[in-house]
Amino acid sequence: MSKGKVLMAMSGGIDSTMSAILLQEQGYELVGATYRTWDSMKESCLAKEKGCCTIDAIMEAKHMAEKLGFEHHIIDFRENFRELVIQNFIDEYMNGRTPNPCVLCNATIKWGKLIEVADQFGCDFIATGHYAQIKENKGHLYLSEAADTLKDQTYFLWRIKEEHLARTLFPLGQYTKKEVRKMAKDRGYEKLSTKTESQEICFIPNDDYRDFLRKNVEDFDQKCVPGHFVDMQGRKIGIHQGFQNYTIGQRKGLRIAFGEPRYVAGINAKKNTVKLGERDDLLASTLHAVNCQFTHVEEILEDPKVEARIRYNSPAMSAKAEIEGEKMKLIFDEPVWGVAPGQSVVLYKDGRVIGGGVVKK
């Protein structure tokens, strides 16, 4: 007897494919879905294993679904993706902030539009190949860190609503990547077991956001113009090539020489200035966040001590959270380095994601 009907989001890669195999083995009925979010042909990203939106990846997903014996659909989300994710990405950079498109895509496309598709196909659940778990605590469902802490992707998933978690399956959450590769090999998928991964943003396969902006922002050359580098006191110390070319914490590519390293410490889009400082100038003891979302806000109000991650590849740092509606102030036990407006800050307790927000200037 089937455990339920699942809309399996398939990218053509090892993680989503092994997720499908595991769910089948557990007794679920699957419907495969691969969504097009970006026209890869426009950006010349037709090379194999360069992202989930290439024609090759889509066809690999379709072929695997057919091999495993369940129906597969290609869903065109390009218009929604451009409107909800790409436009936000452009707007944020053009206003001197550093966006996190994967967080927004997960909330609006994968757990937004894809939920609607699941309903259309009569599916009880949706499933992805993300490395994350879902756990219950005091009557609430929480995202929880994956068993493989090096692959854990909860940072990018913090905006998924609790009601959507109730309909979500993460088959790989309890496994390490090494174990997943071995499972694929043991089942006879030798080529799949050694498949490499793309680490780039799906619509920027060459990992050059500046080139993307140049091609996708109207009159970009008139909007991205030279301005002044300033020091921490606001004094002019050189000429930059347009604030859009810089991100907080950047050290290389400044094209200006000092006796010791300088880092981008601030960006003022209105004044077209880029502030440079020494490494310690990027240390911060507090940050403010907006557009916050919490699973059970009373838990934080009762005990404001949290662990906070200010970027995907940084460790969680101990802090105190002060919450007011959808706004939040974090006071860190020890200063954190390189807080970037536009990035997500994600809160944890005992490995559970209890909330998050977008860093404000």
Domain coordinates in residue numbering, the chain: 5-193, 225-277, 282-360
Whether residue 137 contacts residue 352, with contact meaning beta carbons closer than 8 Å, is answered with: yes
Distance CA 221, CA 178 (A): 46
pLDDT of residue 160: 97
Q: Among 52, 123, 202, 292, which one carries the catalytic annotation?
A: 202
* Catalytic residue flag (residue 202): yes
pLDDT of residue 44: 40
How many separate helices (H) and strands (E) can be counted in the chain? 12, 17
Structure tokens, 325: 């509606």
Q: Spot the catalytic one: 53, 102, 105, 123.
A: 105
CATH of region 225-277, choose from 3.30.360.10, 3.20.20.80, 2.30.30.280, 3.30.565.10:
2.30.30.280
Second CATH level (architecture) for the domain 5-193:
3-Layer(aba) Sandwich (3.40)
Tokens of 79: 């218009």
pLDDT computed for residue 52 by the predictor: 58
Q: What is the pLDDT of residue 60?
A: 93
Q: What is the pLDDT of residue 200?
A: 76
What is the Cα 137 distance to its own chain's centre? 25
Q: What CA–CA distance (Å, rounded) separates 199 from 156?
A: 13
**DSSP designation for 38:** S
Q: What is the value of pTM for the model shown?
A: 0.93
- Over its length of 361 residues, how does the chain's per-residue pLDDT go in tens digits? 679 999 999 999 999 999 999 999 999 999 999 999 987 644 444 334 445 567 888 999 999 999 999 999 999 999 999 999 999 999 999 999 999 999 999 999 999 999 999 999 999 999 999 999 999 999 999 999 999 999 999 999 999 999 999 999 999 999 999 999 999 999 999 999 998 877 778 899 788 999 999 999 999 999 999 999 999 999 999 999 999 999 999 999 999 988 899 999 999 999 999 999 999 999 999 999 999 999 999 999 999 999 999 999 899 999 999 999 999 999 999 999 999 999 999 999 999 999 999 999 7
Q: What would the CATH number be for the domain defined by 282-360?
A: 2.40.30.10
Q: Report the alpha-carbon distance of residue 156 to residue 159 in Å, rounded.
A: 8
CA distance 279 to 276: 9
